[in-house]
Structure 1
């Protein structure tokens, strides 16, 4: 007689924290792609802040950016006219005095681990994350067109929260994006949660906090990203480009 389905087994693959002395060398950047008006309203952002707290507890240096709080102009598609026009610094940063995307570029280039947090919006990541992706073209184009690898030996991971199915679709898009940029991904690269069909978001945070699978995934994501970042810090890989 087949065994009854009881869900995924907890505690089978707990990833340990690396040596604390090594952790102190690691800089972690958390980027929130939620469009919620006030800090603390977004569940993906709250889970991101919890991840950053874990990193701080391990002795890492952390930085948190809310894309919602920054003035970021649209990518104007200069690459489509001529790849030579997609430069770094980004043409939009040079064109608009109030553009704050350079703050994001500086943070990404300075970090060892980047955590992107996004809600699910109509089976996809948020519009703010999409704008971030498109404005990062300038970084990717530096390597593919100009031969200058700006991102190497860095780790990326994801936090995805939503009330409809779509985590794997969102994760696939974002993992493809960070791979093109030059990021490495750890063995556990995603912490996620999907709510019920009733879409009663008022009870979500309590359900997220009490979901043992989401909490285990969050800790494993934090620890596996940290372990990979420490390894790359100690033994950096040679990369192509300048």
Structure 2
């Protein structure tokens, strides 16, 4: 809704009774004055007018909702008092003692009409962050030292009742052998050990709403996806991902992790910033069912979009096939297979060799 100035100071918005009726139904109303967007509210007998841009990432407050006298931003749920513009401390992300404030506009009522002063807009007060999780936002820079190999097991299982996983067995064995023979540092992360939330689709609201570090990680200090971000973006030179085959696809935990990695890929879209550079990926894929090549193809495509490179023969696969699902036998076969253990170790050898070449090329 565009409004025209009726004077240099005050601009007519409309009849108060009409606005009250509309706002009691809609909650929020977006106005525009000479390209300046304002969100108008009415709560507990009082009007409020705020700059429509959220203090956090610039989300459109008018598309949020009014909650007990506060406007909740639709992007990341920051809340602002509808009259004062003050942010509710800790409403979305852990903040310091200064949560900041969105600019407000003076309002007045004369003869049943509501007016706004655009020149009277207050200054924006930016929030001050605690450092904490924001350390992830540092520029990726490889530290000197040995090649670092991160293994990520995506097998889903009950923490209290762990079971044997063929893909995790091969990954763990290969990491141990690599640490003994290749002069590398290794680390294993089991997704089943981590407490992390599903992607909540901030990108679907706006590409700018999908942030780095991930919005969920910033909002929820208990979210342990930060271990994957730290390991993959900042620590590792090589990442080896293991997955079982579930109905012809990678595991559900793999896809849960992959969706949360959209915050890494989206930096390329938004800022032409590639967080993953000169890093190598490999895969270990096993299952009672076939479809190893399809799972590997999806993984290679996904990690390639993040910025990873792959060596020749970038994955190890094992499957008994659709008509041979003797799972007890399969576990024994993988556990005792010198061939599969050797192939998994040699996969790490290939990824480490490529990593060395990439690092040398940067020196």
Please report the TM-score for the alignment, with normalisation by the length of structure 2: 0.56
Of the candidates 153, 164, 168, which is equivalent to residue 32 of structure 1? 153
Is the 1:36–1:42 Cα contact (8 Å) retained in structure 2?
no
Could you tell me how far apart the structure 1 residues matched to 2:163 and 2:176 are? 15
CA-CA distance at 1:72 after TM superposition: 1.0
CA-CA distance at 1:40 after TM superposition: 5.8
CA-CA distance at 1:54 after TM superposition: 2.0
CA-CA distance at 1:59 after TM superposition: 1.4
**How many residues align structurally?**
214
1:106 aligns with 2:230: yes
Please report the TM-score for the alignment, with normalisation by the length of structure 1: 0.83
Could you tell me how far apart the structure 1 residues matched to 2:177 and 2:312 are? 18
3-state SS in 2 of match to 1:145: helix
What's the Cα RMSD here? 1.7
Q: What are the within-5 Å matches in structure 2 for residues 220-239 of structure 1?
A: 220-236=346-362
Partner of 1:159: 284
Structure (1/2) with the larger strand percentage? 2
CA-CA distance at 1:212 after TM superposition: 6.0
Structure (1/2) with the larger helix percentage? 1
CA-to-aligned-CA distance 1:167-206 (integer Å, 9 cap, x gap): 0110010000000000000112111110253422112233
Q: Where does the alignment leave 5 or more consecutive residues of structure 2 unmatched? A: 1-144
Is the 2:175–2:345 Cα contact (8 Å) retained in structure 1?
no
Partner of 1:200: 326
CA-CA distance at 1:215 after TM superposition: 3.9
Larger radius of gyration: 2
Q: Where does the alignment leave 5 or more consecutive residues of structure 1 unmatched? A: 1-23, 238-242
CA-CA distance at 1:219 after TM superposition: 3.3
3-state SS in 2 of match to 1:235: helix
1:42 aligns with 2:181: no
By relative contact order (CA 8 Å, sep 6+), the higher-ranking structure is 1
